[in-house]
Structure 1
């Protein structure tokens, strides 16, 4: 994991709503509209947060066709484990150096 990937994961879990999304998905995959209802948020707001979680590879979305031919997006957790230690940070910085100096970019908040 590079420092950019580590920062993406930390930013993804660094928001209360995204933690609630992860908690809801711990019970299994959920249709986006149902997830929005459970969380009490609009679908556009939910999609914004899901995008952050997908970028960090913590969740995955998949389109499926319903019996009446509608495309429905389902979201599920991707297997992940997050352990933050000094060694995690040092390993990410070493990975950056292996990929070259052009790899590290500022991550917008």
Structure 2
């Protein structure tokens, strides 16, 4: 992931702050899977899985590909996007300097601290 901006760090951490999304990501480390199979493997509904997959995809942690099966059914496959997140106090300190104030009602504007 390289050097993350503060907003990107928050997006990634917020996305990973869900047991369902962690389970989805863990399941995809074994290789790509299509939605129905992944839902069965995880024991959750396809609708709930889709919600979590969309959040993971928006954060860039998974990618999706639509493919046709031999019988003509459209299957949406998901796979984990390779990433590495090395989080240290220094990384957080650097990321904080790039935070926007969007959605942070008590934030002190940059340069006023």
Task: Show structure 1 runs of 5+ residues with no match.
Answer: 97-102
Root-mean-square deviation over aligned CA pairs: 1.7
Tell me the number of residue pairs that the alignment of Structure 1 and Structure 2 aligns: 101
Paired with 2:23 and 2:81, the residues of 1 have a C-alpha distance of 15
Residue 3 (structure 1) shift: 1.4
Q: What SS does the aligned partner of 2:60 have? A: coil
Paired with 1:64 and 1:53, the residues of 2 have a C-alpha distance of 20
Paired with 1:21 and 1:82, the residues of 2 have a C-alpha distance of 18
Q: What SS does the aligned partner of 1:73 have? A: strand
The within-5 A match list for 1:47-66 is 47-66=50-69
Match of 2:22 among 19, 22, 39: 19
Is the CA contact 1:3–1:104 (under 8 Å) kept in the aligned structure 2? no
Residue 10 (structure 1) shift: 0.4
Task: Show structure 2 runs of 5+ residues with no match.
Answer: 105-113
Paired with 2:77 and 2:9, the residues of 1 have a C-alpha distance of 25
Q: What SS does the aligned partner of 2:40 have? A: helix
Is the CA contact 2:7–2:98 (under 8 Å) kept in the aligned structure 1? no
The within-5 A match list for 1:5-84 is 5-84=8-87
If the length of structure 2 is used for normalisation, what is the TM-score?
0.80
